[in-house]
Amino acid sequence: MASVALGLGSNIGDRVARCRQALCELAGHEAIRIVRHSSWYETRPVGHAGQPDFVNGAALVETSLAPVRMLETLKDVEARMGRSVTWQKGPREIDLDLLLYDDLVLGQPGLDLPHPAMAKRAFVLVPLTEIHPDRVHPVLGRTVSDLLDDLQPVDHLVRYLAAP
């Protein structure tokens, strides 16, 4: 079983309910086991400020799916939950990102591991640090909590919203 870190987000409708539903969808997959997930955090959008705030969280899962198949499964869940195509970094019913897959470093069309922007995003690092602070970024060789320290202060970027 591979150890996988996921990012979850939504900024349309009942954002927390959508993120929770995504976790339930993933938990129902025969090859995926949710190990734990973070609290939910309300965050400002990145890129296009003229849209609603997001709710973001992170989850650690174990899976027997290969990385490409895991990504396909995430996209299938997004589609079943009604994710519509807007514009890049635009509003989303649900957004599921494959952040880390074991210590795999992979670059291929449509899939880069680790996620190329995760080390610069407080909305990823805050929830991931909550559930796995010692997880090491396989390219940077630093823990997610160390990467989060580099972004401090993040009070203005992320605030606690609700328990898991």
Q: Is 83 a catalytic residue?
A: yes
Tracing tokens 């635009």 back to the chain, one arrives at 90
Q: Are 68 and 111 in contact (CB under 8 A)?
A: yes
Q: Is 150 a catalytic residue?
A: no
Please give the model's pTM, rounded to 2 decimal places.
Answer: 0.91
Report whether the peptide linkage leading into residue 153 is cis, meaning its omega lies within 30 degrees of zero: yes
Annotated catalytic residue within 15, 18, 20, 83: 83
| Rg of the chain taking only CA atoms, in angstroms | 15
Q: Is 2-162 in CATH node 3.40.30.10?
A: no
DSSP state of 126: H
- Quick: pLDDT tens for 81-107: 987 666 566 678 899 999 999 999 999
pLDDT at 50: 75
In the chain the beta strands, taken as DSSP E runs, fall at 2-10, 32-37, 40-43, 54-63, 95-101, 106-108, 111-113, 158-162
Annotated catalytic residue within 15, 18, 20, 92: 92
Higher model confidence: residue 131 or residue 86? 131
